Chain A
Amino acid sequence: MPNAEIPNISSLLGTPSELTDSGSAKTAIVLMTRVRLARNLSGYHFPGWAKPEERERVLASCRASVAATAPMRRCFNFAVADLSDLERQILVERHLISRELSSAKEGAGVVISRDQAFSVMLNEEDHLRIQVLRAGFNLKKAWSAINDLDSQLEEHLDYAFSTTLGYLTACPTNLGTAMRASAMMHLPALVISNQMEKVVRAVNQLGMVVRGLFGEGSDASGSIFQISNQTTLGESEDEIIKRLGSVLQSIVEHELNAREKLLEADSGKLYDKIGRAYGILQNSHLLSSSEAMNLLSLLRLGIDLGVFPEANRSLVDRMLIEAQPGHLQYAQKGELEPGQRDVLRAARLRSEFAAVARPDFRAPAHGGN
């Protein structure tokens, strides 16, 4: 279904989204859950092996089918080629497209639902990469939402499928369910108490993968990690989700324990970190992306601990995304040198946090969540 209005990144940024506007005490440790499905059309080459004309054909036919589904009413519908570098970066920072898609060749596109909860990447590594995001710890809801959308698409698209290998994907590591379920978790106490390595190892042993927010090293990304399933063949979607869910639940418990222990051992030390983070956010004039992430992470911990009112959570969550380089530069209408970005980032955060009331360390609730 063609859109009446011309979809653009500004209107996307101006529309409330699942990721930036759903923060509550329920999203304290698990910020969001995400499920992705890889799907391909039978009778076509996979995107990486297809000629440009074939990719364009697949793009056109998938775009129309995707845009016609119920969740995609009034969707944003972009061809990657039509987007500037900065606009692509914004979509990556909002977790709506992958870096791979952002650097894709001709014939790549993305359809994003109005609330940015659903997105379908077209001609990434597979013809379709269907994604749903849900705020908080909501694996089952996310799976049921994406299962629905997938079934709607299948009414019109002939999927490549084998009864033994499942959904056929360009890479054999995604065969079977072709599903990646993941959660974005905020684990500051596990990081502060140096337990992340242990957690990563344990989670790996259970067949799950842990990564930083955008893949970089563990403490550069505001103590935010993504945990997802590693294997896709041999278990049903429900089984994978159940297994991942219990791993996530146990990580939540470890994080809560670590918070208790930090407070018991030396609450002054923890409050010092939180208080300083508040001071820097309100007063600094130069902030790198990774420093900003870490300060925001501490403020978020402060909210969990009752040091700041719950009402500040959505501000912090929004800033975790809007202080990223792409968003900052877009707001400034042009690309900037990293040094200039740090000035701009500090100014933005100073003004956003100017009105946040001083921390109250008197009788905080323990643990959070």
Chain B
Amino acid sequence: MPSPLKCDLCAKPATVHLTQIVNNKVHKVDLCEACAQAKGVTDPSGFSLADLLLKASLNPETPAAPGVRCEQCGFTPVDFKKLGRFGCPACYDTFRSLVEPMLENMHNGVAHTGKVPTRSLERKTLYDRLTKLELDLTEAIRTERYEDAARARDEINQVKQAFNADAQR
């Protein structure tokens, strides 16, 4: 073990040492007093320690694919290395290959088995369906398939009604 230990976040001598065992793997974090304060080892929420472990596990030497950028928010892997957090929900799709290897060490499994926001998902399904139907409608009109266009229009009305019913619930 190198001594004295240096802070994982800056290079000052570390005075706070944390050891966690997740899935039988030992994770160690060493911090100086200032970083321990700043990084919320003092936060009682229980969220921040895991975050520290994450940062420590991010190897700064791993080359990041520099060209990849989240279309929704402009986030890059370099930003992630710096912040330890993502920019928006869509980042999880964009950076799937970066996220997946991390999860195994971080969690007790790699797939969600808990609560599902059923109502959010229902609304999303309706919304996606509506978007597709509107495209169909435009395309049908453009190619003069008027029966298809009428069918699409009927369906659009149905989906919109479902939306309204949903909003009133």
A-side interface residues toward B, CB under 8 Å? 36, 38, 40, 42-46, 48-49, 95, 98-100, 125, 129, 147, 150-151, 154-155, 157-168, 170-177, 179-180, 182, 204-205, 207, 209, 211, 213-216, 226, 228-237, 239
Contacts and interface: CB of A to CB of B under 8 A. Distances in A.
B117 to A, nearest CB: 5
13 contacts: A43-B89, A46-B86, A49-B85, A95-B44, A99-B43, A100-B45, A164-B111, A164-B112, A172-B103, A174-B50, A215-B40, A215-B43, A230-B50
Interface in B8-35: 19-23
B102 interface: yes
Which of A38, A166, A230 has the most CB atoms of chain B within a 10 A radius of its CB? A230
Contacts of A161: 116-117, 120-121
B169 interface: yes
A163 B124 contact: no
Contact of B120 (A42, A213, A228): A42
Given A175-B107, A230-B22, A233-B103, A49 B73 contact: yes
A231 to B, nearest CB: 4
A329 B47 CA distance: 28
Contacts of A213: 44
Contacts of A42: 89, 120, 124
B88 A46 contact: yes
B44 A211 contact: yes
B41 A215 contact: yes
- B interface: dominant SS: loop
A239 B58 CA distance: 29
A177 B50 contact: no
Given A157-B120, A214-B44, A166 B22 contact: no
Given A214-B42, A215-B41, A215-B42, A49 B88 contact: yes
B107 A154 contact: no
Contact of B87 (A45, A215, A231): A45
Contacts of B19: 204
B123 interface: yes
A43 B123 CA distance: 14
B47 A125 contact: yes
Contact of B124 (A36, A44, A158, A171): A158
Contacts of B7: none
A165 B99 CA distance: 10
Contact of A233 (B43, B110, B169): B110
A231 B19 CA distance: 15
A154 B117 contact: yes
B136 interface: no
Interface string B106-147: 111111111111111101100000000000000000000000
Contacts of B87: 45-46, 49
